[in-house]
Amino acid sequence: MQRIGVFVCWCGSNIAATVDVDRVVAEAKVQPNVVFAQDYQYMCSEAGQGIIRNAIAEHKLTGVVVCSCSPRMHENTFRKAAERAGLNPYMVEIANIREHCSWIHKDKEEGTEKACVLMRAAVAKVLLNAPLKAGESKVTKRALVIGGGIAGIQTALDIADAGFEVDIVEKRATIGGRMAQLDKTFPTLDCSACILTPKMVEAAANEKVKLYTYSEVESVGGFVGNFHVKIRKKARFVKEDICTGCGACMAKCPSKKGLNEFNMNLNNRPAIYIPFAQAIPNVAVIDPEQCIKLKTGKCGLCEKVCTAGAIDYKQQDEIIEEEYGAIVMATGFQPIDASKFDEYSYSTCPDVVTSLELERLMNAAGPTGGVLLKPSDKTHPKSITFIQCVGSRDVSGRGKCYCSKICCMYTAKHAMLIRDKYPDVEVHVFYIDVRTPGKNFDEFYRRAVEQYDVDYIKGQVGKVYEEDGHLVVQGVDLIANEQIILNTDMVVLATAIEPDPTARKVASMLTASIDTNDFITEAHPKLRPVESPTAGIFLSGVCQGPKDIPETVSQAGAAAAKVIGLLAKDKLLTNPCVSHSNELLCNGCSCCEKVCPYGAIGYEDKLINDHGVRETRRVCVVNEALCQGCGACTVVCPSGAMDLKGFSNKQIMAEVDAICR
């Protein structure tokens, strides 16, 4: 006879405030086969686990039900506790009386009643549990990093440092990402390129790191330890291994109308180009939209001047297939489109720019060679006005509900740099709040105010318009309770940042969940911040949420540590809750094969002894290493041959019966 123990957790007051735990224990004691029931304040604590272990030994329990939080939280904890006491870990069932009960009910009577029902269902299920043994699967000791910005580069370098191979897939023609576009970095004002480009070179030189630039992930299959990835290497029309990056083609190219994306479209570039001087790889790429040869068949100048013979107008996209053990998402961000905010005249006035555009206008390698000039007439501005929170903390539908986190600091940086280099320029900053949590951040902002005389005005701007060749800013000073009309030469919009538009597509390929803002969701916001709930998928950088460079680099290292922890294992324990077929019932119809998302189902011709009748039949065979236990086959099977271990049809019916009892 089965001997079941029921353990009811208070979870401090999380459960006990809404569920009468004494009543759940009393109710448990009268359930069939329950020989022991007890409650405790924190069942997951060492003392709580001790109660479970002692009860297993003392009462010779054959099954355990823990009424506590979600199994996603502590199922593993309690399985391990049972295992330590000599019980098969799969003889443990969790009744979720926190997330599914106490947290969503206010009335204690109702909550208690529901907790009792959930407990009853779990007891009914555990009576039909069978001991299971986890299988093993291999681990491909190579990682894939999607995105080649500072997040992706740092993650890859840290993984490579531990001795594992790692590939970076970057959709643009060079690695470096957003950080490569920045001029200086806060709060130290060191040059962005000076600290980033050595890392880019390191990534290219590291023999463990392989770069796939101008490439995108096409499809992802498999599961943790065994991902199968197809990468589309887009045609550059330039042979990557032959091009020397001399730039002769760029100088001769007659088509110079392409917008320079690296300079935020502030100037033009030829149809054949290297994104910027320190690009990695330092290889040209042809923009097929702009190339005269590719569009009309006439021209071919670049081919003529290329002494290395690297130009190949016939190059095709190439599909590369690779196996990986772990995948890191580092897809980064983009600024939102400022033209949605008509009142700031971004689309109509060239002297209204975004902060990222200002970075390029102040960068020595930018369109003005680092001299700050008004985009409209290339003259020196005398007054610059910054507007904070453009599209951040905005629930009107035009912006983003969150704080973009980096804008307060980069604006202080911009203001300071301008005042330092051009003391004759007056700088105003309209702010709602100045948010500076971070080491040396507030001190940095105060320097802007106290040392550099930047005029911070508490209040927002209502509109910006052009009048008599200059810009007019109409704003409010909430401290003085006055409306301000300011004449200014340039306006800089601190636009909100949003996840890169590819994040959603990549996340769905990886089955990684995303939130309403398209940021990738963590497995646990506090305790597992760099892992996706999908096993083997890790998060690095702004794809998880707005963050600055120091935070991104820390998170990149953390994600790398998690990847290394995974790749260091030779075998992974697989989930034993997999499906299997009853060969006597299987009619070989192939329904299950069609719905299996993991390709885990195949067919074999087998000699079946069906009640004395021997015949060869085509029956379903499940590859237990591939099966993820989703259960799709069990519901689609017309003859009821498919069943899931640990979640059998019989068990689910028993739970339903117990709930309805």
Partner 1 sequence: MHFDQKETANLITRMSGTDPKKCMKCGKCSASCPSFDEMEYHPHQFVSMVVKGDVERLLASKSITKCLTCFACVQRCPRGVEPANIIEAVRVTTLRQQGTCYLSPDDVPAIVDDQIPQQALVSAFRKYRK
Please list every residue from 186 through 215 that binds partner 1, using CB under 8 A.
none
Q: What minimum distance in Å lies between the beta carbon of 103 and partner 1?
A: 25
Q: What minimum distance in Å lies between the beta carbon of 546 and partner 1?
A: 17
Indicate which single residue of 460, 502, 513, 587 sits in contact with partner 1 (rule: CB under 8 A).
Answer: 460
CB crowding 180-197: b at 16 or more within 10 Å, else e: bbbbbbbbeeeebbeebb
- Look at residue 90 and give its three-state secondary structure: helix
The reply on whether position 343 binds partner 1 by CB under 8 A is: yes
Residues 114, 120, 122: CA angle, nearest 5 degrees:
105
Indicate which single residue of 45, 244, 483, 508 sits in contact with partner 1 (rule: CB under 8 A).
Answer: 483
H-run or E-run covering 540:
none
CA atoms of 579 and 647, how far apart (whole Å): 9
Name residue, tokens 């979640």: 647
Q: What minimum distance in Å lies between the beta carbon of 336 and partner 1?
A: 13
Please list every residue from 398 through 417 that binds partner 1, using CB under 8 A.
398-399
Instruction: Tell me, by CB under 8 A, how many residues bind partner 1.
Output: 22
CB 15 within 8 A of CB 98: yes
Give the residue with the Cβ less far from partner 1, 476 or 577: 476
The reply on whether position 156 binds partner 1 by CB under 8 A is: no
Position 257: which residue type? K
Other Cβ atoms closer than 10 A to 430: 26
Which part of the chain contacts partner 1 (CB under 8 A), choosing from 74-82, 409-417, 477-485, 554-562?
A: 477-485
CA atoms of 590 and 366, how far apart (whole Å): 61
Indicate which single residue of 25, 195, 476, 608 sits in contact with partner 1 (rule: CB under 8 A).
Answer: 476
Q: What minimum distance in Å lies between the beta carbon of 500 and partner 1?
A: 23
Indicate which single residue of 41, 137, 282, 474 sits in contact with partner 1 (rule: CB under 8 A).
Answer: 474
Give the residue ranges of DSSP H helices in 370-455: 407-421, 441-450
The reply on whether position 486 binds partner 1 by CB under 8 A is: no
The reply on whether position 394 binds partner 1 by CB under 8 A is: yes
Give the residue with the Cβ less far from partner 1, 391 or 541: 391
* Size of the chain, expressed as the number of residues it contains: 661
Indicate which single residue of 258, 335, 366, 475 sits in contact with partner 1 (rule: CB under 8 A).
Answer: 475
Give Cα 61 distance to the centre of its chain: 43
Which part of the chain contacts partner 1 (CB under 8 A), choosing from 3-11, 118-126, 220-228, 457-465?
A: 457-465
Indicate which single residue of 50, 135, 438, 462 sits in contact with partner 1 (rule: CB under 8 A).
Answer: 462
> If phi over 0 gives left and psi between -120 and 50 gives alpha, with beta otherwise, what is residue 403?
beta
CB 329 within 8 A of CB 523: no
CA atoms of 125 and 656, how far apart (whole Å): 10
Give the residue with the Cβ less far from partner 1, 168 or 389: 389
Indicate which single residue of 393, 447, 470, 528 sits in contact with partner 1 (rule: CB under 8 A).
Answer: 393
CA atoms of 551 and 530, how far apart (whole Å): 12
Indicate which single residue of 396, 467, 570, 660 sits in contact with partner 1 (rule: CB under 8 A).
Answer: 396
Indicate which single residue of 95, 389, 563, 637 sits in contact with partner 1 (rule: CB under 8 A).
Answer: 389
- Cβ neighbourhood burial of 339 (10 Å; 0-12, 13-18, 19+): exposed
Position 564: which residue type? I
Helix axes 441-450, 407-421, angle to 10 degrees: 40
Please report, as ranges, the residues that interact with partner 1 according to CB under 8 A. Answer: 343, 389, 393-399, 432, 458-463, 474-476, 478, 481, 483
